[in-house]
Every structure is written in structure tokens, then in C-alpha cells.
């Protein structure tokens, strides 16, 4: 869900190719020496042409540990007409399988390949982070942003309207102006991130997804998707915000958040009270994740419920909650995933009456896969779409 009212706007402007050229041209007046000039010309150019996050270029502090996501010297390969960059453990890569991006030589005054070659000629012969100072200490996020702000100040531009993320925004803008589709842009550089948060159903789906040919990204790598499965056994509504806040300590906000919650709360309190609490939590989440699209994942049917033996009454409450939350999220720009092929019987639900069988889990994962691809490609409100 993207809130349409009373929501702060993301005012960051893109650093376009023309602005990147201007920034690189003023760096000699900003930096202390020629080495620092070549260092930041290369890092800024790589941020733009590689669609890279600042955390993939810099350390959090000058005494960064080996757990940093920053590109290291040994992660790059210089070819005659391109460079290959190995992202060993992108922040959006849950299994740390890594990925490789390729940046080609381009004509004109700004070229990441030429800038990197110029920097490598003067870089000290030390292992570790690719972008480092002459004494071998790594460039930090603070230093990267500080030099960018000074450059913008020299150009007479407002520092508050730009950030390190403006390089990625500008790269995506330039790609769109050159005719690339949204899915093609998403597949370039750093991926589009999706968090799936919920109870043991999400946890079990992650385990099964790891064994499937498409892996934990459900075969959506071709459109640039990286999934984080945030499943916790017995997860309740009260655990939802803390789970998300914990992730935000280590990860940047996702592009999409799929919420599969409520089944373990249903029946403990009146349906209307639970519905209002869910909406309240959704509103709190949107305050945390200002640019994230929310997706309501339908609460599944069960054969047994924690707080009531009246299965029919509980199923009616489940349907009311799903209908209300789906309408609320869709009305504010989000999406809804339905699971019409999962019925409350032993074919799909285990003997415990709650968890899914292998067949049920297979359908659950396939539906999520189809929904995410549909939301990214042609953006329906609901998947699968309701028959008229």
C-alpha cells in the first residue's frame, strides 16, 4: 500500500548524466589532491552506471569489518571494452549467492570504465575494499556523501534535494528516457527487493523454495527480483512491527512488502476489533516504509483454529478480515494475493489442521510467484483476478 494522503514525499532528485559530468568536473576544486579526485570520479561514475547502492561502494566506518557489503579490489575484472563487478553479498541477497554486473565502455565525457582505470593506476597496492584512501583506509558512507554535498554546493545546487541514492534514481531515469521498459530497468544493476513477512507458513515456504529450480527468488531473477522470506513460527500481529524494524536496522526498505498475518490472532478478539488493529498496524508500517508498496496475502482456511472450535464461524470471520484488509490496501495503491485453489481439506492442509501439505505449499508458493510477477509487469489490483 502506498498512502495517498498526508504522506511525506520523496523529494530526492535524480543525478542525471549531465549533472554527473558537472560533478566530476568540479571534483578537483573539492578534493584535496589528484588521488582523491580520481577516487571520487570513479566511485560516483560506478554508482551511476552500475545502479549501485552506497553500501555496495563504501564502508559504514573506517574500521569496517569483513562483513561489509562493499565491493573489494578482487571483485572486479577489467576487460578491453568493459568491467565486470562481482557483488559477493548484496544486501538483497538472502542466501549470499552473489551476482555479477557488467559495465561497458561508452563514448562521451563520462565513462565508468575509463574513470575506474584512472583510479586503479594510483590506488595503493592493498587488499580489501575497492575504494580506499591513499593510506589504505576504506572510503566511508559519510565521506562519499560529504564530497557529493560539497560538489553540489560548488555547483549552486540544493544539497537537501540530492542524496547518494540520487545516482540510482538518475540511472533509472536515463534508462527510461532511452526506451527501456520498467522490467528491463529493474533487471539492471541492483535488484528490486520484496520482503514476505508472516508466520510458519512463510517459513515453510522458504524452506521448500530453496529446493525448487527457481530458488528462493522463485525464478524471478530475470526481472531483477530479490526476495527476503521473514517467516517466524507462531507469529502474531503484535510481532509484525518489531520484525520489520529489526530488518530496517540492517537493510534498506523494500520495494514491496507482502504481509501474511492474522491467522494466529483470529478468534482471540472480536472480528471488528482485529480488523481495526490490522488497519492501524498497516498505517504504522507505511510510516516506516514511505516508498514501499504493500501487498495483503490472504489468510488461509484451516481445519482447526486456536481460539474456537466453531470452524464455520471462524471461516466467516477469516473471509471478512481478508475482504476488509484487501479493500483497504488496494484503495491506497497496494495489491491483494488470493489462494482460491487451497481448500480446507486434507489434500492441502496437514493433520494439525493449520500447516500446508506439500501440495498446499506448492500451490501457495506458485501463487505468490505468479502474483509478484503480475504486480511488477502489468500491476493488477488482485491476483489471481476475480472472475466477473
Give tens-digit pLDDT for 157-196.
Answer: 987 888 887 887 887 777 767 676 655 555 555 568 899 9
Interval 57-71 mean pLDDT: 70
Q: What is the mean pLDDT of residues 298-323?
A: 95
| pLDDT-based confidence at residue 83 (cuts at 50, 70, 90) | very high
User: Could you tell me which CATH class the domain 191-383 is placed in?
Assistant: alpha beta
According to DSSP, the residues that pair with 100 across neighbouring strands are 86
- How many Å apart are CA 88 and CA 98, to the nearest integer? 4
On the question of pLDDT at 334 being above 80, the answer is: yes
What pLDDT is stored for residue 2 in this prediction? 47
Position 97 scores a pLDDT of 58
Using DSSP, state whether 187 is helix, strand or coil: coil
pLDDT at 8: 44
Above pLDDT 70, what percent of the chain? 88
Average pLDDT over residues 108-125: 93
Question: What separation in angstroms does the CA of 215 have from each of 220, 232, 261, 375, 376?
Answer: 9, 20, 23, 20, 19
3-state secondary structure of 222: helix
Cis peptide bond prior to 384, omega within 30° of 0: yes
Query: Would you state the pLDDT for residue 185?
Result: 59
Please state the domain extents for the chain.
17-180, 191-383
Predicted local distance difference test score (pLDDT) of residue 163: 84
Each residue of 245-303: pLDDT tens digit? 998 887 888 989 999 999 999 999 899 999 999 999 999 999 999 889 999 999 999 99
Domain 17-180, what architecture?
Orthogonal Bundle (1.10)
Q: What is the dihedral angle through the alpha carbons of 236, 241, 246, 249, rounded to the nearest 10 degrees?
A: 170
Answer yes or no: pTM beyond 0.75: no
Residues found in the chain: 388
User: What pLDDT was estimated at residue 343?
Assistant: 95
Contact call for residues 260 and 196 (beta carbons, < 8 A): yes
Amino acid at each position: 500500500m502506498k498512502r495517498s494522503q498526508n504522506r511525506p514525499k520523496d523529494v530526492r532528485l535524480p543525478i542525471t548524466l549531465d549533472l554527473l559530468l558537472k560533478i566530476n568536473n568540479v571534483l578537483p576544486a573539492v578534493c584535496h589532491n589528484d588521488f582523491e579526485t580520481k577516487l571520487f570520479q570513479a566511485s560516483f561514475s560506478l554508482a551511476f552506471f552500475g545502479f549501485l547502492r552506497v553500501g555496495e561502494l563504501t564502508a559504514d566506518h573506517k574500521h569496517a569489518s569483513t562483513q561489509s557489503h562493499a565491493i573489494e579490489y578482487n571483485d572486479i575484472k577489467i576487460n578491453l571494452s568493459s568491467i565486470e563487478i562481482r557483488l559477493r553479498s548484496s544486501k538483497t541477497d538472502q542466501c549470499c549467492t552473489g551476482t555479477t554486473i557488467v559495465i561497458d565502455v561508452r563514448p562521451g565525457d563520462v565513462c565508468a570504465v575509463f574513470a575506474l582505470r584512472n583510479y586503479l593506476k594510483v590506488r595503493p597496492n592493498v587488499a580489501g575494499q575497492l575504494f580506499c584512501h591513499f593510506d589504505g583506509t576504506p572510503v566511508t558512507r559519510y565521506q562519499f556523501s560529504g564530497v557529493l554535498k560539497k560538489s553540489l554546493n560548488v555547483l549552486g545546487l540544493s544539497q537537501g534535494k540530492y542524496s547518494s541514492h540520487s545516482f540510482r534514481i538518475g540511472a533509472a531515469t536515463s534508462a527510461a528516457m532511452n526506451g527501456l521498459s520498467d522490467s528491463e530497468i529493474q533487471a539492471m544493476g541492483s535488484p528490486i527487493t520484496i520482503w514476505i513477512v508472516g508466520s510458519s507458513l512463510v517459513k515453510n515456504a522458504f524452506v521448500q523454495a530453496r529446493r525448487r529450480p527457481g530458488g528462493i527468488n522463485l525464478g524471478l531473477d530475470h526481472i531483477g527480483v530479490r526476495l527476503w522470506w521473514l517467516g517466524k513460527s507462531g507469529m502474531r500481529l503484535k510481532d509484525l512491527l518489531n520484525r520489520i524494524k529489526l530488518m530496517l536496522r540492517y537493510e534498506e526498505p523494500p520495494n514491496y512488502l507482502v504481509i501474511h498475518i492474522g491467522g494466529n490472532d483470529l478468534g482471540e478478539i472480536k472480528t471488528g476489533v482485529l480488523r481495526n488493529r490490522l488497519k492501524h498496524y498497516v498505517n504504522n508500517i507505511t510510516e516506516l516504509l514511505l516508498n514501499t508498496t504493500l501487498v495483503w496475502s490472504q489468510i488461509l482456511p484451516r481445519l482447526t483454529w486456536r481460539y474456537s472450535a466453531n470452524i464455520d464461524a471462524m471461516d466467516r470471520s477469516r473471509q471478512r478480515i481478508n475482504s476488509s484488509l484487501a479493500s483497504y490496501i488496494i484503495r491506497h495503491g497496494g495489491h491483494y494475493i488470493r489462494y482460491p485453489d487451497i481448500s480446507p481439506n486434507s489434500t492441502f492442509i496437514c493433520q494439525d489442521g493449520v500447516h500446508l501439505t506439500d501440495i498446499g505449499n506448492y500451490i501457495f508458493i506458485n501463487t505468490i510467484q505468479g502474483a509478484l510477477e503480475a504486480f511488477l509487469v502489468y500491476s493488477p489490483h488482485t491476483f489471481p483476478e476475480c472472475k466477473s
